[in-house]
Amino acid sequence: MKNYIVYKLVLLSLIVTLCGCAAKWTEEQKNGFNLVHNEDGHTLGYASGSGISLIEKGGYAFKDLNKNGQLDVYEDWRKPVDIRAKDLASVMTIEQIAGLMLYSGHQSVPAGSSRGFGGGTYSGKTLDESGAHSADLTDQQIQFLTEDNLRHVLVTSVESPAVAAQWNNNMQALAESLGLGIPCNTSSDPRHGSDSDAEYNAGAGGDISRWPGSLGIAASFDPELMKQFGDIASKEYRALGITTALSPQIDLATEPRWSRFNGTMGEDPLLAADLARAYVDGFQTSENEMHIDGGWGYHSVNAMVKHWPGGGPEEGGRDGHFGYGAYAVYPGGRLSDHLKPFIDGAFELNGPTGEASAVMPYYTISWNLDSVYGENVGNAFSKYIIEDLLRGKYGYDGVLCTDWMITGDAVNVHEFRGKPWGVEELTLAERHYKAIMAGMDQFGGNNEMGPVIEAYQMGVKEHGEEFMRRRFEKSAVRLLRNIFRTGLFENPYLDVAISEKLVGNPDFMKAGYEAQLRSVVMLKNNKEVLPLQSRLKVYVPQKHYPASRNWFGQETPERWEEAASKKIVNNYFEWVDEPQKADAAIVFIDSPRGGTGYSVEDAEAGGNGYVPINLQYESYVATHARETSLAGGSPFEGFTNRSYKGKTGITANSGDLKSVQLCRKQMENKPVIVVINVSNPMVMSEVEKNADAVLVHFGVQDQALMDIVSGAAEPTGLLPFQMPATMQTVDEQYEDTPHDMIPYTDSDGNTYDFAYGLNWKGVINDDRVKKYKQE
């Protein structure tokens, strides 16, 4: 291979001599790929053996991606992105464009042994049976890259940064060898969450930096912290080969029962807009030597904001992944609030990239919002929601990608299958066609181009070949633009050693840990029981985890576990196993897990299947719920009223409250500190009256909590939402309206409203509160 490179250099040197141009580039070989350094220009990367050769023009080197021996417009890195994208789109076949419009199902690296979620085979065998390397491509990945022209891949778990980087290189080498040489754009859902029992050591690295979730960063009320997260996370993403983030989730969290509440930035439109803007700026902006053009570059990650026009106002809190949660409702007429994080945040950036490069609509039917065509269909199928509102009124011309599996078939309202809400009666191809004609560019979770080709043929029959060719090219340009901007056409390859060093480096770990400290909110500190004195004896009751099943059908059995890391707690205090021996108790619990809002058992017993979602530990009867639901009409149901009025809401983890109550009794007059991992707002009265101090967090390491409890750090977080006083106020609030519940007031007279929190001096009333607290 080295002799081959020397031969090329000699040959190109001869050409340069004959044409009189001085070469402005050099080439070196890396592990499995070659790097070409253009003086004052782009660095090129191409795989050895991919069939790529170099073209020299004006002394600079360019990749001959389509292998035709000439420099095409799209191969010329000196030209503007839009010109390159339009040129490439114009020469792509419909089959190639159809493949570009696909976004793969979830890919684990390496693939699991199952045939389901994250599974795959290697030469027809499992990874262990095949003897393949963890970074090798699966049979399924090879198939969708080669046969279906797919170029957008969703990655979930990865074995390590090194394996992720090598897998990226293997995938890009295959893509580069095919057709027009279009590289792959790999994406990820958020992957920077914290492991509770992980220990942070200053100066030590990890597999990736650990941060609180979006709701936790929102509790800092600091857009600059969110921007810092985006800046660091984008660098780690790029080192893993990821160039699109399927985030941020900027749904306005106005419905407290929604199961995706904890992925949001809270319920306040102004705060959510500021945080959304900061997140996207952090992810998309490249600087200095990593900058290419217009703020974009080799540290840039496309931000796909979700979910237009806001997934927050789910009727009754039921989620749109299932037919029982298909409807978003607007009883307060507050659609404008839900659009603010998009139009005032993600579409109005402070940085040079201007706006988020992609948008994902939610599964839901935005009930009765379509005042033009009168359709009640899923957002991605709605011409009014997409073409008229997003593309038309708000002028958005970035990529629009459906949420995963919206074109698949559903068989009832409660199974995790396809989510074709409002278009259940259409065929697979007809759903693709309807979404395309509504203005969508891409289909999440679809690995096969066949239905997209069928949709194209439907369009040709209705509108003619020229019209549909233009329509497909328009989507192709948008999709290609995001690949060009991030430099993938020039160099999609990673240096594995650099990836290993960068991901989870000590500086990034430190920043994430400090953010965790800033995300913790202290709600109660009666008689200033916190901070606890160092080396006190503390009792930590074990935690009960009830049996559960996730959306994908994977079951977790019932179990009892230590509620916190004994090792970490012992770094601050002395752990004792009996409450009688303790000076204080720390009880770790989760916020109430009050169900999904649907019960198969209720439906089988003759009911309509709809039940309350409970935000308190004890059961309650929904006497104040609305008599008639605002939306309904699923073809899988013979009724339209989804009301749960008069039914009982229960909670799976009611044992958490019993643990607090028992500990209170056992500790008698000694301090009881309750630490709550909060996923949704909750009725606090049950817990607060049994606690001397209450801390809430949104997913942090035990060590961060111990730093707060011990006084090594001071709590500064604020609630980015209201804590309801009762379930009555939850049932009576409007799903689309922020700040409309009666918040809980505790025994110390403090009200757990939006922007409330305590520090060691008392209630926080700083500039953050003054800016965002709306009286």
pLDDT in tens, 51-96: 999 999 999 999 999 999 999 999 999 999 999 999 999 999 999 9
Closest-CA residue to 276 (of 189, 358, 349): 349
Q: Report the pLDDT value the prediction gives residue 545, as an integer from 0 to 100.
A: 86
Q: What is the mean pLDDT of the chain?
A: 94
Confidence class for position 113, pLDDT limits 50, 70, 90:
confident
Closest-CA residue to 364 (of 407, 396, 409, 319): 319
> Looking at the whole model, is its pTM more than 0.85?
yes
What does the alpha-carbon distance between residue 752 and residue 642 come to, in Å, rounded to a whole number? Answer: 31
What does the alpha-carbon distance between residue 142 and residue 309 come to, in Å, rounded to a whole number? Answer: 35
Strand partners, 672: 585
The amino acid that residue 308 corresponds to is W
Q: What would the two tokens of residue 659 be?
A: 């643990």
The DSSP call for residue 317 is G
Q: Report the pLDDT value the prediction gives residue 19, as an integer from 0 to 100.
A: 46
What does the alpha-carbon distance between residue 271 and residue 344 come to, in Å, rounded to a whole number? Answer: 11
Q: Report the pLDDT value the prediction gives residue 49, as an integer from 0 to 100.
A: 86
| Ranges 164-168, 546-550, 716-720: which has the least confidence | 546-550
Closest-CA residue to 219 (of 726, 775, 764, 745): 764
HSE-up of 57 (CA within 13 Å, CB side)?
A: 13
**With 50 as the cut, is the pLDDT of residue 541 above it?**
yes
Cβ neighbour number for residue 113 with a 10 Å cutoff: 14
For the chain, percent helix, then strand, then coil, each to nearest 5?
35, 15, 50
Strand partners, 305: 359
What does the alpha-carbon distance between residue 430 and residue 435 come to, in Å, rounded to a whole number? Answer: 9
Average pLDDT over residues 729-744: 98
Q: What would the two tokens of residue 285 be?
A: 């902006």
Average pLDDT over residues 545-562: 81
Confidence class for position 42, pLDDT limits 50, 70, 90:
very high
The DSSP call for residue 612 is P
Confidence class for position 205, pLDDT limits 50, 70, 90:
low
Q: Report the pLDDT value the prediction gives residue 200, as an integer from 0 to 100.
A: 58
What does the alpha-carbon distance between residue 356 and residue 333 come to, in Å, rounded to a whole number? Answer: 26
Average pLDDT over residues 219-233: 98
Instruction: Judge contact between 704 and 772, C-beta under 8 A.
Output: no
**With 70 as the cut, is the pLDDT of residue 10 above it?**
no
pLDDT in tens, 287-305: 999 999 999 999 999 999 9
| DSSP states along 171-223 | HHHHHHHSTT-PPPEEEE----PPPTT----TT---SS-----HHHHHTTT-H
HSE-up of 207 (CA within 13 Å, CB side)?
A: 14
Sign of CA dihedral 217, 252, 442, 81: negative
Residue 278: partners with Cβ closer than 8 Å, 6 or more residues away: 223, 224, 226, 227, 230
Q: Output phi, psi for 77, to 5 deg.
A: -70, -10
Confidence class for position 32, pLDDT limits 50, 70, 90:
confident
Confidence class for position 622, pLDDT limits 50, 70, 90:
very high
Instruction: Judge contact between 409 and 418, C-beta under 8 A.
Output: yes
Q: What would the two tokens of residue 195 be?
A: 């492991």
Strand partners, 621: 648
pLDDT in tens, 297-351: 999 999 999 999 999 999 999 999 999 999 999 999 999 999 999 999 999 999 9
Instruction: Judge contact between 264 and 251, C-beta under 8 A.
Output: yes
Q: Report the pLDDT value the prediction gives residue 547, as an integer from 0 to 100.
A: 83
What does the alpha-carbon distance between residue 488 and residue 184 come to, in Å, rounded to a whole number? Answer: 8
Mutual angle of helices 506-519 and 223-239, in 10-degree steps: 140
Radius of gyration, CA atoms only, the chain = 27
| DSSP states along 653-702 | TTHHHHHHHHHHHHHTTS-EEEEEE-SS----HHHHTT-SEEEEESS--H
Confidence class for position 115, pLDDT limits 50, 70, 90:
low
Instruction: Judge contact between 153 and 401, C-beta under 8 A.
Output: no
Q: Report the pLDDT value the prediction gives residue 15, as an integer from 0 to 100.
A: 45
What does the alpha-carbon distance between residue 376 and residue 617 come to, in Å, rounded to a whole number? Answer: 36
What does the alpha-carbon distance between residue 144 and residue 199 come to, in Å, rounded to a whole number? Answer: 40
